[in-house]
């Protein structure tokens, strides 16, 4: 049994195809099926690695070091699908591969064309996952919007595969918008046109997910069904859910989406177990407390820039039965004595997280935020750049090296406590050349990080060019900073810990990439636990 589902989108972008596809994957897993997830991105970039967060949100990193679209993070949070570079397909990859083969003469002098050469390459990449012996269902999310010129080769490849496999083994789910106009009326016309455009590509959708601000009624569903040739029961209301998108699998299940998929693909359900999702949603809707976690970063205007970090904080809250209010603190607020002019920016904050990032903008504000959190004994979690910020602040404040910095931001500093990795020297190409993917770290006994993991040896994913400079390790340790984790041979610093502090931990890797609502990452669970413990203590101190 090998089944294939294509997920397409219409009317406009950013409707939530990734979350919808992931929710379907979660439902299929709840039915006892092995799911594989693929993301197709029509952009010409080879991968998402060189894009600004403002262009495409965060970059999600897989175990094998692929820099991918953030929707692979959704797949990881909702499903157990193995994810690697093969699960992320871009126009850039496809055309580069085809042109390389043409230059090598592998097309035997034929004219190289979009059909069949480009579409065949796309199909081969999908089949590499689809034909996995352990896979029952492969869900392919086609990025972009139907009607975009960039998506045409991918939709043509999908059309061909639907024709080749047949409707019993392949179906199409189309996510479309039901906008609300002035007066509050929901309109179906954009959906009708969107389906018509997909039909003009030779693809008849089998299921419609109608994205709206509120549930659509049966009358509207019947109208959509009659105009789109989609059966009434397969017109699904994909309305806004609160407080979390983790309720979406339950919303779809209540409308029997999983049963409809199984019937259309001729699959017998092995079982239906949604206990974990129900428990997660119940915790989110009925928390036993609330915490305010300040995230100090430089891309605060765009929620997707730190998508996995925000979600992992929510997971940490689930592990501790508390709701998390994420307070976005632009690092610029902490610069130029801003905290003196605008009051204490950490007032009322139960914990602080400094995430990863690149570029000099906002760095001084992050350093100041770290100093405040350390001196005020507020739990702080530094990730990648955030750990480096902790080291820089320590060197400046405790060691007295006022110009201590990272070589990334100040090449003239006399104390480059963070420096370029040796293997990065001389590299001029920025795509896929960082330290990327999963590697081993060894944790020291008696540390917070070791207690959180409950293990001495851990594997986590990396994405960086700079590291704590080995030249200054003895000075840092001698002044009290605990280097709590190292690479297996001790060559690189993987984590640090502040002494005499409730919870001040920095890590060079990205734990947020492997956290999920049903399995919160131990570091986020430990951080939120410390923030929860700190909250009443802080409140008592404020009363005094």
Please say whether the beta carbons of 143 and 151 come within 8 A: yes
Report d(CA 61, CA 59) in Å as an integer: 6
pLDDT given at position 180: 87
Is it true that 3-279 and 287-543 share their CATH fold? yes
Give burial (CB, 10 Å; 0-12/13-18/19+) of 242. exposed
Q: What is the DSSP letter of 87?
A: G
pLDDT given at position 357: 83
CB atoms inside a 10 Å sphere around CB 148? 14
- Report how far apart, in Å, the C-alpha atoms of 116 and of each of 96, 157, 203 are: 16, 9, 18
Q: List the catalytic residue out of 117, 253, 462, 510.
A: 510
pLDDT given at position 544: 41
Please say whether the beta carbons of 508 and 464 come within 8 A: yes
Q: List the catalytic residue out of 384, 393, 408, 494.
A: 384
Report d(CA 12, CA 197) in Å as an integer: 13
345-401 per-position pLDDT tens digit: 899 999 999 998 887 788 999 999 999 999 999 999 999 999 999 999 999 999 999
pLDDT given at position 426: 64
Report d(CA 414, CA 432) in Å as an integer: 30
DSSP track, 411-480: TT-S-EEEEE-GGGTT----TT-SEEEEEEEEEPTT-HHHHHHT-SEEEEEEEESEEE-GGGHHHHHHTT
**Three-state secondary-structure class, residue 496:** strand
Question: For every one of its 544 residues, what pLDDT tens digit does the chain have, with 9 covering 90 and above?
Answer: 799 999 999 988 888 999 999 999 999 999 999 999 999 999 999 988 888 777 778 999 999 999 999 999 999 999 999 999 999 999 999 999 999 999 999 999 899 999 999 999 999 999 999 999 999 999 999 999 998 999 999 999 999 999 999 989 999 999 999 998 877 789 999 999 999 999 999 999 999 999 999 999 999 999 999 999 999 999 999 999 988 899 999 999 999 999 999 999 999 877 778 999 999 999 999 999 999 999 999 888 777 889 999 999 999 999 999 999 999 999 988 886 545 455 788 999 999 999 988 877 889 999 999 999 999 999 999 999 999 999 999 999 999 999 999 998 998 999 999 998 876 776 666 666 778 899 999 999 999 999 999 999 999 999 988 999 999 999 999 999 999 999 999 999 999 999 999 999 999 999 999 999 999 999 999 999 999 998 876 544 444 4
Q: What is the CATH number of domain 3-279?
A: 3.40.50.300
pLDDT given at position 537: 62
Structure token digits, residue 223: 């109208």
CA dihedral defined by 341, 342, 343, 349, rounded to 10 degrees?
-140
Report d(CA 543, CA 541) in Å as an integer: 5
Among 287, 382, 347, which Cα is nearest to 538's? 347
348: phi then psi, degrees, rounded to nearest 5: 80, 5
Note if 283 is an active site residue.
Answer: no
Max alpha carbon distance in the chain (Å)? 83
Strand order in the sheet with 416-420: 405-406, 416-420, 466-468
Which overall architecture, per CATH, does domain 287-543 show?
3-Layer(aba) Sandwich (3.40)
299-314 per-position pLDDT tens digit: 887 778 899 999 999 9
Give burial (CB, 10 Å; 0-12/13-18/19+) of 166. exposed
Q: List the catalytic residue out of 29, 141, 247, 512.
A: 512
Interior angle at CA 384, CA 382 and CA 385, nearest 5: 80
Note if 384 is an active site residue.
Answer: yes
Burial 318-330 (b: 16+ CB within 10 A, else e): bbbebbbebbebb
Asked if the peptide bond before residue 243 counts as cis, ω within 30 degrees of 0, the response is: yes
Among 292, 329, 286, 287, which Cα is nearest to 531's? 292
Beta bridge partners of 324: 291
Computed over every residue of the chain, the mean pLDDT equals: 92
Note if 271 is an active site residue.
Answer: no
Report d(CA 16, CA 26) in Å as an integer: 15
pLDDT given at position 399: 97
| pTM > 0.95: yes or no | no
Q: Domains of the chain: which residue ranges?
A: 3-279, 287-543
Report d(CA 540, CA 525) in Å as an integer: 24
């Amino acid at each position: 049994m090998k089944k294939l589902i294509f997920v397409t989108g219409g009317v406009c972008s950013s409707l939530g195809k990734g979350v919808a596809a992931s929710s379907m994957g979660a439902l299929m897993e709840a039915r006892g099926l092995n799911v594989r997830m693929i993301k197709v991105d029509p952009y010409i970039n080879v991968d998402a690695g060189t894009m600004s967060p403002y262009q495409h949100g965060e970059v999600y990193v897989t175990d094998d070091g692929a820099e991918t679209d953030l929707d692979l993070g959704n797949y990881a949070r909702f499903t157990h699908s193995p994810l690697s570079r093969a699960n992320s397909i871009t126009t850039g990859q496809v055309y580069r591969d085809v042109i390389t083969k043409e230059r090598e003469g592998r097309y035997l002098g034929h004219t190289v064309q979009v059909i069949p050469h480009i579409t065949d390459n796309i199909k081969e990449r999908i089949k590499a996952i689809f034909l996995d012996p352990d896979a029952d269902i492969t869900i392919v999310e086609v990025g972009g919007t139907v009607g975009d010129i960039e998506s045409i080769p991918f939709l043509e490849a999908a059309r061909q595969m639907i024709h080749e496999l047949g409707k019993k083994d392949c179906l199409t789910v189309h996510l479309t918008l039901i906008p609300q106009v002035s007066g509050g009326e929901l309109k179906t016309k954009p959906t009708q046109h969107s389906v018509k455009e997909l039909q003009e590509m030779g693809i008849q959708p089998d299921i419609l997910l109608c994205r709206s601000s509120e549930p659509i009624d049966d009358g509207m569903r019947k109208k959509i069904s009659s105009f789109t040739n989609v059966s009434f029961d397969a017109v699904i209301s994909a309305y806004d859910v609160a407080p979390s998108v983790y309720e979406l699998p339950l919303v779809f299940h209540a409308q029997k989406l999983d049963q409809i998929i199984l019937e259309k693909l001729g699959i017998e359900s092995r079982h239906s177990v949604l206990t974990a999702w129900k428990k997660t949603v119940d915790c989110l809707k009925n928390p036993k407390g609330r915490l305010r976690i300040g995230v100090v970063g430089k891309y605060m205007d765009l929620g997707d820039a730190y998508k996995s970090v925000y979600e992992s904080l929510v997971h940490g809250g689930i592990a501790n039965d508390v709701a998390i209010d994420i307070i976005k603190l632009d690092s610029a607020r902490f610069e130029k004595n801003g905290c003196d002019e605008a009051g204490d920016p950490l007032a009322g904050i139960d914990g602080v997280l400094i995430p990863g990032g690149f570029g000099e903008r906002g760095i001084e504000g992050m350093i100041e935020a770290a100093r405040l959190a350390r001196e005020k004994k507020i739990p702080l979690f530094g990730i990648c750049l955030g750990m480096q910020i902790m080291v820089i602040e320590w060197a400046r404040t405790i060691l007295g090296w006022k110009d201590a910095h990272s070589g990334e931001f100040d090449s003239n500093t006399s104390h480059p406590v963070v420096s370029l990795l040796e293997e990065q020297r001389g590299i001029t190409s920025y795509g896929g050349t960082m330290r990327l993917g999963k590697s081993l770290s060894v944790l020291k006994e008696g540390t917070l990080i070791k207690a959180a993991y409950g293990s001495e040896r851990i594997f986590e994913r990396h994405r960086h060019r700079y590291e704590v400079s080995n030249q200054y390790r003895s000075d840092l340790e001698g002044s009290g900073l605990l280097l709590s984790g190292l690479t297996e041979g001790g060559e690189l610093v993987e984590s640090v810990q502040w002494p005499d502090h409730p919870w001040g931990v920095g890590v060079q890797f990205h734990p947020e990439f492997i956290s999920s609502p049903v399995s919160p990452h131990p570091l986020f669970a430990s951080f939120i636990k410390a923030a929860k413990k700190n909250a009443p203590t802080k409140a008592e101190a404020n009363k005094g």
